[in-house]
């Protein structure tokens, strides 16, 4: 079985979109694949409840618990890898996981680690993408599914969706329009990877 481990930090709407698609399209039969675990760095992440309701294993590795370590990011990533590796992941999917991962973590999952970013990469890597797109006068915005590399938001692009930036858009209205497309392209990109890897 090709196990998919999804990492979240909050509501997990992209995770939920992937889980629903996996069930609706019967990925277990079609690809011999399943979402085997959802892991968060925040105990109060609302997406954990959705995962539990769908019979998916959950875990919390709180990054704040490593704050007093000599190298807190490395210590957190090591603990996270240990938890992920319990599930022998075929893919590790970042779905609103708000942590910058260390090069060692990225290397450990090379070729198996993917992310979705709310801009048309390579434009606007990092945070506040919607505000930056509006301030720059962009006519279009969107979302990008990409492989994760050590350089933030710069891995090879797997899928993109484009939405218009409307004259009266705020960061919130643009974000909502982009998110509807994220929920379509992320499950599709994961499914495509399952057919080719």
Question: Looking at the annotation, which residues are catalytic?
Answer: 117
- The tokens describing 114, both together, are 């993917």
Q: Which of 141, 139, 137, 112 is nearest to 129 (CA)?
A: 141
Q: Which of 7, 2, 20 is nearest to 188 (CA)?
A: 20
Phi first, then psi: give them for residue 4, nearest 5 degrees.
Answer: -110, 125
For residue 89, what are the β-bridge partners?
3
Which helix (H) or strand (E) segment holds residue 56: the answer is: none
- C-alpha 163: how far from chain center: 20
């Amino acid at each position: 079985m090709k196990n998919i481990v999804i990492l979240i930090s909050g509501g997990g709407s992209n995770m939920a979109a992937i889980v629903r698609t996996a069930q609706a399209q019967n990925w277990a039969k079609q690809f011999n694949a399943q979402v085997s675990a959802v892991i968060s760095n925040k105990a109060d992440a609302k997406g954990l409840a959705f995962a539990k309701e769908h019979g998916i294993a959950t875990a919390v590795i709180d990054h704040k618990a490593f704050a007093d370590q000599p190298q807190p990011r490395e210590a957190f990533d090591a603990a996270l890898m240990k938890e992920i590796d319990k599930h022998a992941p075929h893919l590790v999917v970042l779905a609103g996981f708000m942590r910058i991962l260390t090069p060692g973590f990225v290397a450990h999952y090379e070729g198996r680690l993917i992310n979705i970013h709310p801009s048309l990469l390579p434009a606007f890597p990092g945070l506040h993408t919607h505000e930056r797109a509006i301030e720059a006068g962009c006519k279009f915005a969107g979302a990008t599914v990409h492989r994760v590399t050590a350089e933030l938001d710069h891995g090879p692009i797997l899928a993109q969706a484009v939405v218009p930036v409307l004259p009266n858009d705020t960061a919130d209205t643009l974000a909502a329009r982009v998110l509807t497309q994220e929920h379509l392209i992320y499950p599709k990109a994961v499914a495509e990877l399952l057919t080719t890897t």
